[in-house]
Amino acid sequence: MPPSVVSELIDLLQLERLEDDLYRGQSRDIGTKYVFGGQVLGQALSAAQRTVAGRTVHSLHAYFLRAGDIAAPIIYHVERSRDGKSFSTRRVTAIQHGQQIFGLAASFQIDETGVEHQIAMPVVPRPDELEPAPEIDPATLSHMPAKLQRWMASKGPFEFRHVYPRDELKPPKRPPYQHVWMRLTERIGDSPELHRAMLAYASDFHLIGTATLPHGISYLQPNVMMASLDHALWFHRPFRADEWLLYSCDSPSAQGARGLARGMFYTESGKLVASTAQEGLIRISTGELV
């Protein structure tokens, strides 16, 4: 029996240790032109977590510098910047073909108690009240490029249920916010490090797309170019990536061929477990949208 897509993702995030603080990751072709940004995020975080014991990552900040080659492995070098009494800092550099394609800084903290508050979860339908995304009509799919067909038709490791579904082939204009329930399609082990790496992977889905909503454009249109420029992620509370999480996203601004999007992850019980932000490139070539 072939491995499931969830098992494949777990293997993708495990990484091969080459030497102290040096790891190698493979890529999974999911139909995107270049390496999916969430994959590099998840792998870089996995590499950083391998070098820290007794402390939990609470934030990461990353820049996407070059497009990743799906056909080549990625080398991750971890720099142990600091190990203090309460915090540890790691820097991770991702390298392909001798060039840096991605850089990440992550901060880890010992467990501490203190004041607590959170913003309430938006009032939205529960995931069991929403229908799974419909499959794309085969006739429509057949007119797409081969890679895009694979992306649109593949069953990924995460299930998504949109509170406000949108037809990406004929996108309407609407306000710059969206809510998406997501979870892994299978149960996985209890390792908190694995669940955090999984969330880092999934946080790159849907986020910058929120900045396109007011403009009625889609990444599926051939004259629309989109790419992640940077990414920040803060972990607040424990969670499981194989249980439903609400990804609540908004986009406060788009300008200069860039869009900014923010997101918050909530459990079904309304607990805020992580927050994220990303700026992405959004270019529209001259000519009529198709």
- The neighbour count for residue 126, using CB atoms within 10 Å, is 12
> Which of the residues are catalytic?
204, 228, 278
Q: Tokens 């790419």 — which residue?
A: 227
Q: What is the pLDDT of residue 290?
A: 37
- Annotate 41-55 with b (16+ C-beta within 10 A) or e (fewer): bbbbbbbbbbbbeeb
Residues across the chain: 290
Query: What phi, psi does 140 have (nearest 5°)?
Result: -65, -40
What are the structural domains of the chain? 5-110+127-284 (2.40.160.210)
How far is 118 from 162, CA to CA, in rounded Å? 23
Measure Cα distances from 103 to 91, 94, 154, 286 in Å: 7, 6, 29, 32
pLDDT per residue, tens digit, the chain (290 aa), is 567 999 999 999 999 999 999 999 999 888 788 999 999 999 999 999 999 999 999 999 999 999 999 999 999 999 999 999 999 999 999 999 999 999 999 999 999 999 999 999 999 999 999 988 877 767 666 666 666 666 565 678 999 999 999 888 889 999 999 999 999 999 999 999 999 999 999 999 999 999 999 999 988 888 899 999 999 999 999 999 999 999 999 999 999 999 999 999 999 999 999 999 999 999 998 754 43
pTM: 0.93
